[in-house]
Structure 1
């Protein structure tokens, strides 16, 4: 009985971090939906309600936005986006610089997602993380097309 309980506890302890990360992404999505819903209710209150209704709905929108900011901050603090260090020294790249292929190896390419706040990379282009900088690189020539300095510092 005790060994069964310990085994279940260990399995739960191993599964919880993955579930927590998924909940965080889901929380951000839910918070965005809540903000939209509260904004819709504010519009309805402006059309059909009195001043008290409008004031209450504005407070609800403000609270929903605060919750969204907190959920985004929690999501960005996931350990997989912290303490990134490349196995080479920091070098400040400029537009037009040429990178060696090991600088834009797949392990340094963050998957494109709306969380980075940059446009989708075009054909034969990829985003490369170099310490806190985000570089848009032409994969064929290795030329740097765009540099986002300290892009990961605020996340």
Structure 2
């Protein structure tokens, strides 16, 4: 009997970690669910009564909240996975702003984000690269060294 209770306690302790491990598939499912709830709300607004509309609004709100929570969990778990790399530069932190010009050592290929879609960053245009600078992400024109966009605290 003690073994069963002990095993149950160990399983209960492991559950939050398992629940926090989100995947792209779960996020896609949540997005689909949110879109479905929004469609049902539009249908209720067209053809339903007040009670139907109120219920559908609540469903949309709950679906949106669940998606936000899952996205937050996904970012937290995957940020920890990718944090292991050496992103610390051989220079001190500087807070950059749009229009600033960087020296080439600040945006060398070592600091490029090779797969921006993994972090939900937009696809950079010609001669533009997403560059990690400590916990910030900069969109830099690699020909001129000019900062085009800044996302501060992106990795925290």
- Conservation of the 8 A alpha-carbon contact between 2:131 and 2:139: yes
Shift of 1:42: 0.7
- The secondary structure found in structure 1 opposite 2:137 is strand
- Supply the distance in 1 between the matched residues of 2:75 and 2:149 (Cα, whole angstroms): 21
In the alignment, what sits opposite 1:12?
none
2:125 is the counterpart of 1:126: no
Gaps of 5+ in 1: 1-19
In the alignment, what sits opposite 2:104?
100
The CA deviation string for residues 121-144 of structure 1, in whole angstroms up to 9 with x for no partner, is: 111110101012222222234x12
2:26 is the counterpart of 1:27: yes
Length-normalised TM-score, structure 1: 0.70
- Supply the distance in 2 between the matched residues of 1:100 and 1:93 (Cα, whole angstroms): 14
- Measured on the aligned residues, the alpha-carbon RMSD in Å equals 2.7
Runs of 4+ in structure 1 over 6 Å off: none
In the alignment, what sits opposite 2:8?
none
In the alignment, what sits opposite 2:117?
113
Aligned length: 132
Gap change, CA 1:125 and 1:24, over 3 Å in 2: same
In the alignment, what sits opposite 1:54?
53
- Conservation of the 8 A alpha-carbon contact between 1:132 and 1:150: yes
Which of 134, 150, 155 matches 2:152? Answer: 150
The CA deviation string for residues 20-47 of structure 1, in whole angstroms up to 9 with x for no partner, is: 86x5211111111111100100111112
2:84 is the counterpart of 1:80: no
- Supply the distance in 1 between the matched residues of 2:51 and 2:117 (Cα, whole angstroms): 40
Gap change, CA 1:104 and 1:45, over 3 Å in 2: same
Shift of 1:145: 2.8
Gap change, CA 1:54 and 1:149, over 3 Å in 2: closer
Gaps of 5+ in 2: 1-19
Shift of 1:80: 3.0
- Supply the distance in 1 between the matched residues of 2:125 and 2:139 (Cα, whole angstroms): 10
- Supply the distance in 2 between the matched residues of 1:144 and 1:36 (Cα, whole angstroms): 39
Length-normalised TM-score, structure 2: 0.70
